[in-house]
């Protein structure tokens, strides 16, 4: 996908947001499901550095394939969009795979995320996930005109841009 058509999305809190954003870069993150220990671990790093992300002119928009009611209590400082039917996942080519959890690079994230969930630091996931548990992450950086500047399709469940990589993509585009 090279261009993202303009659309208005509704977040789990009812906020209406425009993608692309006419004044900011947009970082679309496609995550797995509400309470996913691996996703929680990654998003904690994004939350810690959210001020840097904003200062770089980037708006975070995170998709989950869970219903909105399962996402509302997660208290994240950026836009969270529920897509339980996976419509936008399909549109952006974001897939699921058995390899999502089998890759050795995922095992440490599973262990850390599960330990933090058991310790009460993260909300646990629902016992049943209608969208499945084998989703792969994806990241897209979109300019105000809708052009996809950079994209990453994860090869396993913990394969996404770090905040440093996101900021580097934004700096590269600012230098052009």
Query: What residue ranges do the domains of the chain occupy?
Result: 7-175
Tens digits of per-residue pLDDT, 87-116?
A: 999 999 998 777 766 767 776 666 776 776
Place of tokens 């058991």: 118
Residue 126 has pLDDT above 70, yes or no: no
Any bridge partners for residue 89, and if so which?
Answer: none
pLDDT at residue 93 in the model: 93
Of the pLDDT bands very low, low, confident and very high (cuts 50, 70, 90), residue 163 is very high
Contacts of residue 23, defined as CB under 8 A and 6 or more positions apart, other chains included, come to: 144
Helix spans in 103-157 (H): 104-118
CATH superfamily, region 7-175: Glutaredoxin (3.40.30.10)
Distance in angstroms (rounded) separating the CA atoms of residues 97 and 88: 17
**Mean predicted lDDT score pLDDT of the chain:** 86
pLDDT at residue 135 in the model: 78
Residues constituting the chain: 176
- Choose between 69 and 79: higher pLDDT: 79
Residue 11 has pLDDT above 90, yes or no: yes
Place of tokens 């399962």: 70
pLDDT at residue 5 in the model: 94
Of the pLDDT bands very low, low, confident and very high (cuts 50, 70, 90), residue 131 is low
* Long-range residue pairs from 42-47, CB within 8 A, at least 24 positions apart, any chain: 42/109, 42/137, 42/158, 42/160, 43/76, 45/162, 45/163, 46/78, 46/163, 47/76, 47/77
pTM for the model stands at 0.87
């Amino acid at each position: 996908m090279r261009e993202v058509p303009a659309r208005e999305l509704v977040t789990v809190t009812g906020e209406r947001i425009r993608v692309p954003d006419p004044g900011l870069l947009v970082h679309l993150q496609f995550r797995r499901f509400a309470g996913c220990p691996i996703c929680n671990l990654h998003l904690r790093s994004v939350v810690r550095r959210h001020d840097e992300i904003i200062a770089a002119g980037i708006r975070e928009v995170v998709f989950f394939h869970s219903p909105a009611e399962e996402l509302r209590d997660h208290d994240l400082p950026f836009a969270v969009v529920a897509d339980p039917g996976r419509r936008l996942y399909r549109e952006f080519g974001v897939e699921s795979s058995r390899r999502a959890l089998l890759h050795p690079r995922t095992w440490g994230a599973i262990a850390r995320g599960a330990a933090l969930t058991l310790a009460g630091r993260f909300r646990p996931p629902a016992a049943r996930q209608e969208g499945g548990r084998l989703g792969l992450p994806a990241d897209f950086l979109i300019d105000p005109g809708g052009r996809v500047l950079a994209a990453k399709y994860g090869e396993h469940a913990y394969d996404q841009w770090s905040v440093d990589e996101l900021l580097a993509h934004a700096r590269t585009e600012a230098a052009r």
